């Protein structure tokens, strides 16, 4: 799934984990090769708010929110995306609940469906 997405899009990670730790985790599991960039808060709490983190990522990469999709599993992912004007897609294999997924613009039930669901939000 990540390979399919990375062949078509520049994938970025936006996590609530401090980026110093997130980079180590993605490298350890070999996931970093799929990401164009990885964003997370600083250890001092800077950009701990997910919307601030997304805004920082958009500014850093000179991207318009409408050219991106926030893929997440929790309500804070979807509300952050809404605050910056980015479409959002809930994935049901994470930690969220159906009540949280209702805050996303679309829902994806399986990893195999993800590339199609992302494309539908961007095209």
Per-residue pLDDT of 88-118, as tens digits, reads 999 999 999 999 999 999 999 999 999 999 9
For residue 123, the model assigns a pLDDT of 82
Q: Does the structure show a pLDDT above 90 at 58?
A: yes
Per-residue pLDDT of 79-89, as tens digits, reads 999 999 999 99
Q: What is the mean pLDDT of residues 18-37?
A: 97
For residue 70, the model assigns a pLDDT of 98
- Are 36 and 12 a contacting pair, CB within 8 Å? yes
Domains and CATH numbers, the chain: 2-122 (3.40.50.1000)
* Average confidence score pLDDT of the chain: 96
CB atoms within 10 A of CB 44: 8
- Tell me the HSE value of 24 on the side-chain side, using a 13 A CA sphere: 4
d(CA 38, CA 13): 5
Can you give the pTM of this predicted structure? 0.94
Q: What is the mean pLDDT of residues 36-54?
A: 96
What is the edge-to-edge ordering of all strands in the sheet holding 70-72? 70-72, 88-91, 106-108
pLDDT band at 120 (very low <50, low <70, confident <90, very high): very high
For residue 103, the model assigns a pLDDT of 97
**CB-neighbour burial class of residue 33 (10 A; exposed 0-12, middle 13-18, buried 19+):** exposed
């Amino acid at each position: 799934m990540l390979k399919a997405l990375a062949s078509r899009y520049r994938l970025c990670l936006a996590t609530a984990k401090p980026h110093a730790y997130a980079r180590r985790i993605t490298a350890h599991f070999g996931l970093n090769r799929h990401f164009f960039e990885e964003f997370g808060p600083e250890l001092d709490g800077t950009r701990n708010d997910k919307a601030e983190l997304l805004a920082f990522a958009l500014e850093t990469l000179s991207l318009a929110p409408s050219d991106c999709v926030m893929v997440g599993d929790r309500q804070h992912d979807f509300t952050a995306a809404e605050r910056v004007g980015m479409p959002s897609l809930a994935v049901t294999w994470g930690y969220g609940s159906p009540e949280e997924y209702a805050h996303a613009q679309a829902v994806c039930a399986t990893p195999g469906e993800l590339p199609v669901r992302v494309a539908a939000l961007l095209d």
